[in-house]
Amino acid sequence: MPNPVAELESSKPDRESAVPQGAPEWFSEPPRHDEPAELPEWYRDLRTESWHNYLETPEPMRTDENWRFANLKQVKFDPLSMAEPFPDTDSIIEKTHQLGLKDLATRFIFAGNRLIHQDDDSGIPEGVICLPIMEALAKHGDLVREHFMQEDARLGGEKFAALHGAATLSGVFVYVPKGVVVEKPIEVAHWTRGENSVIFPHTLVVVEANASVTVVDWFRSENTEDSTLAVANVDIASEDGGKAQYVAFQNWNDRSRHVHLNGTRVGRDARATSCFVNVGSAWARNESFSRLTAPGADSRMLSSNLADGAQEFDQRTLQLHEAGHTFSDLLYKNALYDTARTIFSGLIQVCPGAHHTDAYQKCRNLLGSDEAEANSMPGLEIDADQVKCSHGATSGQISEEEIFYLKARGIPPVKARQMISQGFLNEVVEHLEGDEVIAAIEQRFEERFAVLAQV
């Protein structure tokens, strides 16, 4: 396999404004490292604009409704730096193969924001473009431009989005042409290490008419000590009759933080499914925005999260129905233990003229302790007729009757609670397609519950 950095050269940041004197900023210059020599002009302009936007956008404030209930201490960072190369990549590659999917189209492994390995790609059909995102920008700039960060961050993460747009990115670009079906999933693994280091994963999935693909991102820490930050972005574009499925499994160590911004566009008679799973990190912020732009568009938004200790998972969503005869369904579930906190704020917005919209939104919270806290704020905004929209949120503890039922069959109370909670979370995962993907996530949940049982 060619060396993934053989054709890269060190490049200095573009001539961009420095941080104003006295301004408390996370970075004093655009976070960059080795990049392709030939990046398109439009992308260089976008990065310059993104850096200016980053400098001009204030940090999240309590007066911002999009940060209601959030612990704003989590966005107060010590000086940050771009992640450094890993000293030992062989062990990371081996661990990834042990933990990852077994039957797949191909696999990319990134460590410290750099590609360190790609598996054989013989499972990628002819005509499909599947490349590291920075390489795709250099080789297929015009195609990437049509879909790259086209959906504005509007759920509170504007400063993170601007920083992401100015940075060197890891991650992949997947383009599936008309009528092509990628039978097996594409897997992308991201690893990080280094105190106060940052990585910028970016996944861009474009599915043309009547094509389909599944992409799975895994996020893992190399050790348990380093406090790291990931500012991730996923763009999904599912064109007429296409079908895209994206899954993100976040399992950083309990000192790290994670921001994941999602912009999805669904066309005529197309479907896009996104699923965000969180079990690690001290704090995770997920923002998911789905636009349904033509009749027949179908958006499925899923999330399954296991929070314990003092973890906080903050989830903000928008289902935007721009056309009539469209369908969206959101199901978010959180299982909480100890003093963990979750926040869900979701809005279904039906635009004028988007008649016959069918939209659902449900957030359910299972509290495993008296100290756990779940905040839920579902909402509707309807400007059309003949729509069928509903939303709801519930929070409750595990039923003692269920515990008693399992105890009567010889199952210890701790194991009984684990089984109930795992079944509660698995209900979300079972909405996905692909038996191995489902089984892999359920296994990770089982492993995490086993650790909790020992605490």
The pLDDT value recorded for residue 440 is 96
Closest CA to 276 of 317, 239, 228: 317
The DSSP symbol for 180 reads: -
- At 14-40, the pLDDT tens digits run 445 444 444 447 999 999 999 998 999
Same domain, 246 and 127: yes
Same domain, 51 and 183: yes
Q: Is 393 within a domain?
A: no
- At 140-162, the pLDDT tens digits run 999 999 999 999 899 999 999 99
Same domain, 134 and 250: yes
- At 389-407, the pLDDT tens digits run 999 999 998 877 888 878 8
The pLDDT value recorded for residue 10 is 39
Q: In what helix (H) or strand (E) does residue 444 lie, and over which residues does it extend?
A: helix 435-454
pLDDT level of residue 454 (50, 70, 90 thresholds) = low
The pLDDT value recorded for residue 451 is 81
Whether the per-residue pLDDT at 52 is higher than 70: the answer is yes
Q: Is 376 within a domain?
A: no
Position with higher pLDDT, 174 vs 420: 174
Same domain, 248 and 114: yes
Given 294, 329, 349, the domain boundary residue is 294
Q: Is 346 within a domain?
A: no
**How far is residue 205 CA from its own chain's centroid?**
13
Q: Is 312 within a domain?
A: no
| Contact of 347 with 315, CB cutoff 8 Å | no
Same domain, 404 and 283: no
Report the percent of the chain where pLDDT is more than 70: 94
Given 262, 294, 326, the domain boundary residue is 294
Q: Is 59 within a domain?
A: yes
pLDDT level of residue 116 (50, 70, 90 thresholds) = very high
Mean pLDDT, rounded, for 407-413: 81
Range of the domain at 37: 8-294
User: Which residue has tokens 């190369």?
Assistant: 85
Q: Is 436 within a domain?
A: yes
DSSP 256-292: -EEEEEEEEEE-TT-EEEEEEEE--SSEEEEEEEEEE
Given 250, 269, 294, the domain boundary residue is 294
User: Per 3-state DSSP, what percentage of the chain is helix, strand, and coil (rounded to 5)?
Assistant: 20, 40, 40
| Tally of structural domains, the chain | 2
Mean pLDDT, rounded, for 111-118: 98
Residue 52: CB atoms within 10 Å: 14
The pLDDT value recorded for residue 416 is 82
Q: Is 452 within a domain?
A: yes
Q: Is 248 within a domain?
A: yes
Beta strands 212-221 and 106-111: pairing type?
unpaired
230 backbone dihedrals φ, ψ, rounded to 5°: -120, 130
The pLDDT value recorded for residue 455 is 56
